[in-house]
Structure formats: structure tokens, C-alpha cells
Structure 1
Amino acid sequence: MSQVYDLASGLVRRIYEKRIDAPAILDTASEFPNATKFTAAWQAIRDEALAVGKAPRFHDIMPEQADISANDGRDWRMFVLKAYDVAVPQNLARMPVLDRLLAECPEVKSAAISFLAPGKHIPSHRGPFRGIMRFHLGLVIPRQADGRPATVMMINHQERRIADGECLLWDDTFPHEVTNNADKPRVALLLDIWRPRLPPDMEILSRLIVHGVQAGMRRRGVSFSA
């Protein structure tokens, strides 16, 4: 089954790469103007995230992610509020500030709080779907001895670091990996954003993919409850 998924993912990625010429790192101001709403509220979002408690491990929610979540015995926990437009009401209720912002921004298709354990390494991988963009907002980013953020993201073989309250918009169909080099957890808000100005055929394909993912989650009875 995983080989079929990998083949389908690779085919979708190649179709998008031929039709959408996009860099790995994207301009937040032009591609996701509503980012300012989230960055302005980052401290309130952080406080809500820290009150969540222990979230599920990513591979317990989605076993197909075990290769990158359960690879080294260190936790990658995800508190999912919305997944491909499927809301998780009980989780949204625990983060009212973020709930309000998500309601104001329909271009956000998925939203989760990511808790990365000390020393955790997420190995290199690629997303299959260029119809969305990935947005990271630092909530609790430990610093290393030289003062730089201790969490390193390698995106298309380029090092990127964000600090508390800083954000990054990027295309996760490029190879990427993450390492938390601190002795404390890293907490970040992860959003999937609908890519604007898609060619009409890619818009149709993108909506079909989203509907397919939604149907698959419902069929498998995926639960995102903490």
C-alpha cells in the first residue's frame, strides 16, 4: 500500500512541478497576506498551545507518517485543529484565539500545533501536493549558546531558522527536514495554505485531491482528539 501511495504522490508532484514554477521559499506578504493576523497574535496562540497539555504523537494519528515521526524514539506530537478543511471542534474550543483567526482565513486548509521533543530529528521527506503552501510560526523556539534559534529546518538543502513570533512560508514539495538541537521542546504553529492564482486545471485537480483526502479520513475514522 505504501508503494502505491508513493507512486501516486510522485505522479501528482510531477504534474504540479510542470504546471507551477515556484521557489522553495515563498514571499509571505504576496502569497499569504493574512499571515500578519497570526504573527500579531503569536503570544496569545503560544499561551493557548502551552495549555493544551500532552498531544498525540503524529504517527499515532496517521500511521503512514511513522517513517518521519517514529524514526528515532523521540516524540513529534501534533495537536490538530483542522485537517484539509475538516474541523476538530473539541480542539478548536481549547484554542479560541486561533479558532477565531482560522474562521477569518478560509485559505487555511489545515492547522496544527507541533511539539518537537528535545533532540528530535525529522528526516528528509517531500510533500506530494503543490496546491498548498506550508506556513510555520514560531511559538516556543529554544535558543542555542550563540543565541541563534536551536531548531534547524533544511528546506531544499538551505538552512532556515525562525525565532519566537517569526514566520516562514515555503513549498513542502521540496526536500526538507527538521532538527531540534535544544534540550527543550520546540513549539510551532503549522498551517497549510491554499496556493493563490492556480491555473484553472490545477485548481480543479487541487479541489479533487482535497475532497479525496477528506473522504479517506472519514472512511478510516481518523481521530485528532488529544
Structure 2
Amino acid sequence: MPFLFQSEIGRSTGKSDFRFLMSRLVPMLPDSVLKGLVRGGSKGLSREDVDAIFSFQREVERLPTVQKGMRELGMKSLMEWNLDRDRIMRTRSPYTHPMMRPLFFSPGVTARMRYDTAEFDWVPRLEAAYPVIKEELLQVLANNQGFQPYVPAEKEGTERWLVKSDNGVVFANDTSAPSMWNVMYLYMGGPILENQALCPKTVELLESIPRFNRRAPSVFSALHPGAHIATHHGPRNGVLRVHLPLVAPKGCYLNVGSELFEWQDGKVEIWDDSFAHQAWNRSDRTRIILHFDIYHPDWSDEEVERLDELDRSFDNTAVMAIFHETRDKTKGLLNGKEWLVR
């Protein structure tokens, strides 16, 4: 069965002295000027969005790990990443890789596609809790509660989710077509209390994991047979993605960068979602995993505390409001319905 990796390499138009010059000159402009340029040239970004993004980026720049990485890469500002991303990601360093393309880049954080779970002392405890977590999941499924279609957050337009069509599995707004990718949010910029009440032991375990990111989406993620999640990148490289497969039939795969692996029930996988990645369910049953983020091990404990503060303040901005709005619009669509492919 062939698997093709859809690489980001080659997307650049080639080396550009002008682009390099701009990447050095533009960050020297005052923030007031830069914000004006972004507001004037971006679609869908409000004043609050731009202010939040600039504030987040400037605060991350002050972290010692990022300052070290910027020195080693010869960067004067994180703004250079936004202006000359192709050149920087091809620079040889422990912090860059051609298959990595986050929206928010933190130099100084090691770039690795997949991690050995033996490096994390809490993994055996999470794997040992697999039966407990799965039991809570099965109870939720038996009552047809909690799950909703996964919908990309969009500022404009109708909500879209993965459906089967004549063109394969695509994002569309066909309300008569069943969703191929459903999720149950436990956290999204903070706790989702109505869902947490349905699986309290799972939440207790998540809260006990060191460096658990309570602001990132933590979900039960259900992917139907025949679904393919096309190549995409996570928004930042300062966190790692953790998967605990709970219902993992044979034929369910994840491709991260150049690594391809098959999920196995109860076996934790840890990887960096800022690398290009895609997923398939080639089985005849729905695949379900517990999916959450932890802060990268390269951050100091003090930096993790600061990042948590920044993430918490970011949740009160217009940027995260888009995600909350989208979730609210679709959260009742599957309640009381039999949608699982057993």
C-alpha cells in the first residue's frame, strides 16, 4: 500500500536577496508601524488579533531559550521568521528542519519529529491508565454525548467538516452528510466543564502530567474509515503532541515528517506537530485517540510558567474567540445520534 509524503520543500521561489534584506529591515520598524502594515494588508485580522499576536511574539522573544536560539541563527527578531521562513527553516541547526513550518517559531527549541517515550517518566502511568480512560470514553459513546464534528476555525463563511463526496473525503458544509472526523473537547483555551464532567478520571490524569498545556485543545479524536487528514502543520514548535490510542484498528496511520507509524491500542506516541503531518484510517472501524499537548522539554520550568501565563492571556483575545464560536455552533450536532462505526 503506497504512502506518499506531500512535502513542503520547494514551495519557496528560491533564494532572494530582497526577501533577506526585508527580513532584516522590517523588524527594525517601530511596533506601531508594523501593526499598521499588518492591519492594512491582512484579511480577517482585527485590531485585537494583531495586538495579541505582536504581544505574544515580543514576550516569547524575551525568553532565554529563544534568545540563545536567535543568536545561533543570527536572527535579530522573531519577525524574520514571518518574512523569510523558507531560508531560515533550511538553515542547518538543532532548531530548524525543512519539514517544519510553524506559524509561531521558537528558535532554541530542538527540532525532532518523533520522541522516544522512555524520555518521559509519566508515560508508563498514562499507559497503565488506558483501561480507565477507555472505560470513560465507552460510557460517553454509549450515551451519544460530548462529541461534535471537527471544524476548522474560520472568521468568515459557513462551518465546514470532513464529509464523503464524489471527490473523496473533503471539507464541506453538507449538513446531510455525516462528519468523518469527530472530537470531544476536554480543554480548549481552558476547561470544557460539561465534557470534563463526563470523564473525571481522564481529566484528573491529564492534570497530573508534568508540563500539560491546559490552553491547547485536549480531545478525544474519532476518525472514520476511509478518512484522510491531508498534510498540515501545527501552529507552534514550543509544544509536543501526545497521543494515547484507545480504539486503534489495524490500518490507522500517522505520517510525521519522514516518519510513518501505525497507532496501537494503549501505546503512547509523542511527536512535534509543527512538522508536516497527515493521518489515515484505512480500517473498517472508527479510530479514537486521546490527544493533548505538553510544553517542550527544552524550556526551563520558569519559561513554562511564563508560557502558560502568555497562553492564558491569549485566550481572552479575538483570536481564540473564533475557535470558541465555531465550537459552540457545532457542539450539539451529534448529541443523541448513532455516529460511531463499530
TM range (shorter): 0.7 to 0.9
1:128 aligns with 2:235: yes
**Partner of 2:148: helix, strand, or coil?**
coil
**How far apart, CA to CA, are the structure 1 residues paired with 2:242 and 2:183?**
15
CA spacing shift, 1:174–1:23, aligned 2, 3 Å: same
- What is the CA deviation profile of residues 147-199 of structure 1, one whole-angstrom value per residue up to 9, with x for unaligned ones? xxx11111103211121111110000000000000111001010111112316
CA spacing shift, 1:175–1:202, aligned 2, 3 Å: farther
The aligned counterpart of 1:79 is: 184
Which residue of 15, 38, 43 corresponds with 2:126? 38
**Partner of 2:126: helix, strand, or coil?**
helix
**How far apart, CA to CA, are the structure 2 residues paired with 1:203 and 1:122?**
30
**How far apart, CA to CA, are the structure 2 residues paired with 1:203 and 1:103?**
15
TM-score for both structures, normalised by structure 2: 0.54
CA spacing shift, 1:132–1:120, aligned 2, 3 Å: same
1:99 aligns with 2:203: yes
Q: Could you tell me how far 1:21 is from its partner in structure 2? A: 2.4
**How far apart, CA to CA, are the structure 2 residues paired with 1:204 and 1:107?**
9
The aligned counterpart of 1:59 is: 151
1:119 aligns with 2:226: yes
Q: Could you tell me how far 1:29 is from its partner in structure 2? A: 2.8
Which residue of 231, 244, 248 corresponds with 1:141? 248
CA contact (8 A) 2:211 2:295 kept: yes
The aligned counterpart of 1:28 is: 117
**Partner of 2:183: helix, strand, or coil?**
strand
**How far apart, CA to CA, are the structure 2 residues paired with 1:76 and 1:168?**
20
The aligned counterpart of 2:193 is: 89
**How far apart, CA to CA, are the structure 2 residues paired with 1:203 and 1:44?**
29
Letter in 1 for 2:284: D
The aligned counterpart of 2:262 is: 161
The aligned counterpart of 2:26 is: none
Q: Could you tell me how far 1:95 is from its partner in structure 2? A: 0.6
The aligned counterpart of 1:181 is: 282
CA spacing shift, 1:209–1:157, aligned 2, 3 Å: farther
CA contact (8 A) 1:68 1:123 kept: no
Which residue of 293, 301, 307 corresponds with 1:192? 293
Structure 1 runs not aligned, ≥5 long: 144-149
**How far apart, CA to CA, are the structure 2 residues paired with 1:191 and 1:200?**
19
CA spacing shift, 1:162–1:51, aligned 2, 3 Å: same
Q: Could you tell me how far 1:119 is from its partner in structure 2? A: 0.8
Letter in 2 for 1:185: T
Larger RCO (alpha carbons 8 Å, 6+ apart): 1
**How far apart, CA to CA, are the structure 1 residues paired with 2:106 and 2:320?**
29
Structure 2 runs not aligned, ≥5 long: 1-41, 58-80, 83-100, 164-168, 172-178, 333-342
TM-score for both structures, normalised by structure 1: 0.79
Letter in 2 for 1:104: S
Count of aligned pairs: 214
Q: Could you tell me how far 1:16 is from its partner in structure 2? A: 3.3
- What is the CA deviation profile of residues 110-149 of structure 1, one whole-angstrom value per residue up to 9, with x for unaligned ones? 4210011111110000112111100011100112xxxxxx
**Partner of 1:18: helix, strand, or coil?**
coil
Letter in 2 for 1:75: M
* Segment drifting more, 10-19 vs 166-175: 10-19
CA spacing shift, 1:215–1:178, aligned 2, 3 Å: same
**Partner of 1:94: helix, strand, or coil?**
coil
Q: Could you tell me how far 1:17 is from its partner in structure 2? A: 5.5
* Segment drifting more, 44-53 vs 174-183: 44-53
**Partner of 1:51: helix, strand, or coil?**
helix
